[in-house]
Amino acid sequence: MLVVTTNDLVGYRVRRQLGVVRGITVRSRSVIGNFGAAFQSFFGGNITIYTALAERARQDAFMLMVQHAEHMGANAIVAMRYDANEIMPGITEVLAYGTAVEATAISERTPNNT
For position 79, what pLDDT does the model report?
98
Q: How many CA atoms lie less than 13 Å away from 61 in the CB half-sphere?
A: 23
The SS3 call for residue 51 is helix
* Residue that wins the pLDDT comparison between 30 and 65: 65
Tens-digit pLDDT profile for residues 67-101: 999 999 999 999 999 999 988 887 889 999 999 99
Who contacts 18 (Cβ-Cβ below 8 Å, separation ≥6)? 69, 72, 73, 74, 99, 100, 101, 102
Per-domain residue ranges for the chain?
2-106
pLDDT at 29 over 90: no
Length of the chain in terms of residues written: 114
Which residue type is seen at 54?
A
The domain covering 2-106 belongs, at the CATH homologous superfamily level, to Hypothetical protein apc22750. Chain B (3.30.110.70)
What is this structure's pTM? 0.81
**From residue 112, how far is each of 9, 105, 108, 109 by CA, in Å?**
23, 18, 11, 8
